[in-house]
Amino acid sequence: MSIKNYLLESLDSLKDKRLPWVNTKKLERIRNKVLAADTGDLRNRKSALHLSASAVVFDQRRCFFVLHPYLKKVLLPAGHVEDKEAPFDCAVREFEEETGRKAILATEATESLIDINLIYIPRNPLKNELSHFHVDLRYHLYFDSEYLTDMGAELPVYNLSKEQAPAEFQKYYVLLKEQ
């Protein structure tokens, strides 16, 4: 299956979920952007629209966040989906790289997908990147408590309660009721 078809199917599956933050109008806007995009460019970091994946991981009723080095904002661990990489694998990889900890996908990837967002990324002259958009797939992963060794985080890591978390991410704490 092509990455474009995977993304379109992911948008459809998210619509069918009964998650309180899922907005069908937002998903339709993202669908239209994806349909208009060049299929080969969705993993190309230089294209105007490409994929990223984020990890929503809880431990002890707190969610892991990192300080983004360029945006200087506290965000979910996330990154670009690499060539031939599945978005859920990207979320797992980025969580490990950025936090120095391990997370696992506890169910099927389609079941772990909890949100898709279109995120504007401003120009970054340090990386010679033009402004662009990410279609960000957010996955609910599980902290691998059997792997407790800190492998060395790339970024400053925060494990925040709902009250401490940035407002944009507080909605995901409802997932704790399911654990």
- Checking if the pLDDT of 55 tops 90, the result is yes
CA separation (Å) from 169 to 36, 64, 122? 29, 11, 20
Tens of pLDDT, residue by residue over 32-43, are 999 988 766 788
Q: pTM for the full model?
A: 0.91
Domains and CATH numbers, the chain: 3-178 (3.90.79.10)
Does residue 132 contact residue 121 with C-beta atoms inside 8 Å? yes
pLDDT tens digits along 69-98: 888 999 999 999 998 899 999 999 999 999
Weakest mean pLDDT among 1-5, 94-98, 158-162, 163-167: 1-5
